[in-house]
Amino acid sequence: MLKTKIQKIKLLVLDVDGVLTDGKIIYDSKGTEIKHFDVQDGFGIVFFQKLGFKTAIITARASAVVGVRSKDLGITRVYQNAFPKMTAYKKLMKEFRLRDEEVCFVGDDLPDLALLKRVGFAVTVPNAVHEIKKVAHYITQKQGGHGAVREVIELILKTQGKWDGFLKGLER
């Protein structure tokens, strides 16, 4: 059943804090926000897109750092200050003309609950809140900000039979 869900995925939607980062928000003495992103997650996102997949971020917070990282990775669509997240999700679905079952969403906290209940492949991280773990189809082995997104990307590519082609593409 999980394999069937994963084979339909065309769009990867990500939360930021606790998924793309370890969930910590750090401020320097000038009040500038600092976040730690995982390089392997980033590499996975870039090549996932090169294989024809779409990506998006839907986050309830606004952060200049998220804008910089998203641009660096070429993430297709970014919605910040999106709370509730469903409004941004509906815009995304309309723009990409996709069905819910074609979407994988990775979230970890209560603002993500409605989307996780709606998408075709709902993913969370080990330190997610209980309510999120209850609705997730898959819980990553790796923590958010420490390769969880890369793990999801590899799972999708391997399940869809695109992993070997991805590796061969790296040899060119």
Identify residue 160 by its one-letter amino acid code.
Q
| Burial track 86-95 (b if 16+ CB lie within 10 A, e otherwise) | eebbeebbee
Domain boundaries, the chain: 2-161
Helix (H, G, I), strand (E, B), or coil: what is residue 98?
Answer: coil
pLDDT confidence tier of residue 164, bands split at 50, 70 and 90:
confident
For residue 165, pLDDT beyond 90: no
pTM summary value:
0.96
> Smallest Cα–Cα separation from 67: which of 28, 23, 37?
37
Architecture of domain 2-161: 3-Layer(aba) Sandwich (3.40)
What the block records as the tokens of 99 is 């069905």
Using DSSP bridges, classify how beta strands 33-34 and 26-27 pair: parallel, antiparallel or unpaired.
antiparallel
Give the pLDDT confidence of 77-119 residue by residue, as tens digits.
999 999 999 999 999 999 999 999 999 999 999 999 999 999 9
Give the pLDDT confidence of 46-72 residue by residue, as tens digits.
999 999 999 999 999 999 999 999 999
- pLDDT given for residue 141 in this prediction: 98
pLDDT confidence tier of residue 167, bands split at 50, 70 and 90:
confident
Computed over every residue of the chain, the mean pLDDT equals 96
